[in-house]
């Protein structure tokens, strides 16, 4: 453990990360590369997958521009890959848009890479209990799963139960990870 031989893939639910940072720290200016180095903890990086849904330029021009700048930053991180689903604007602006295809893409990639033996440890940065089945599948395939979570022990109870290791993301953990 931590001797640099374990191959790690990090799977980040971008929308969960964004809302968690906003909710817990009142800021979102995180350096994804530094965050991933903390999660890596001296092990061998294989790849970082960052999942999100593209904001509509027509519907939200300002948020679109901010997001494009953020995505450009993610693209400069070595061994990182941006995986984008879409935002569906139904009855906009009365109802907020919702993500389509993002969680499924993340779960599929995590399971596929596990069966291709592309990593030893999957680190999931997400709080959604919908990922429990995918994590169990990865474990059943002989891989280790770590879940990086925000908030109290009572959050994402099922994710905590299925994970081999829970990484608590708090202000101490994020020291030096801000832009």
Residue 152: is it exposed, middle or buried by C-beta count within 10 angstroms (0-12/13-18/19+)? Answer: exposed
Strand partners, 166: 147
- pLDDT (tens digit, 9 = 90+) per residue, 32-57? 999 999 999 999 999 999 999 999 99
The Cα 141–Cα 143 span in angstroms is 6
- pLDDT (tens digit, 9 = 90+) per residue, 117-151? 999 999 999 999 999 999 999 999 999 999 999 98
Set out the domains of the chain in order of their start, with CATH numbers: 7-169 (3.40.50.1010)
Entry pTM:
0.95
């Amino acid at each position: 453990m931590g001797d640099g031989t374990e191959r790690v893939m990090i799977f980040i639910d971008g929308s969960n990360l964004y809302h968690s940072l906003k909710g817990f720290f009142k800021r979102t200016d995180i350096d994804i590369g530094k965050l991933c180095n903390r999660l890596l903890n001296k092990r061998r990086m294989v790849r970082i997958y960052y999942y999100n849904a593209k904001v509509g330029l027509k519907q939200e021009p300002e948020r679109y521009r901010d997001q494009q700048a953020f995505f450009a930053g993610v693209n400069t991180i070595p061994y990182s890959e941006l995986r984008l689903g879409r935002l569906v604007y139904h009855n906009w602006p009365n109802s907020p848009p919702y993500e389509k295809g993002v969680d499924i893409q993340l779960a599929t990639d995590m399971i596929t890479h596990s069966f291709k033996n592309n990593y030893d440890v999957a680190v999931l940065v997400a709080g959604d209990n919908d990922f429990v089945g995918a994590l169990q599948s990865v474990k059943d395939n002989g891989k280790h799963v770590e879940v990086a979570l925000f908030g109290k022990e009572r959050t994402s109870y099922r994710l905590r139960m299925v994970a081999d290791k829970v990484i608590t993301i708090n202000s101490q953990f994020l020291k030096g990870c801000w832009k």
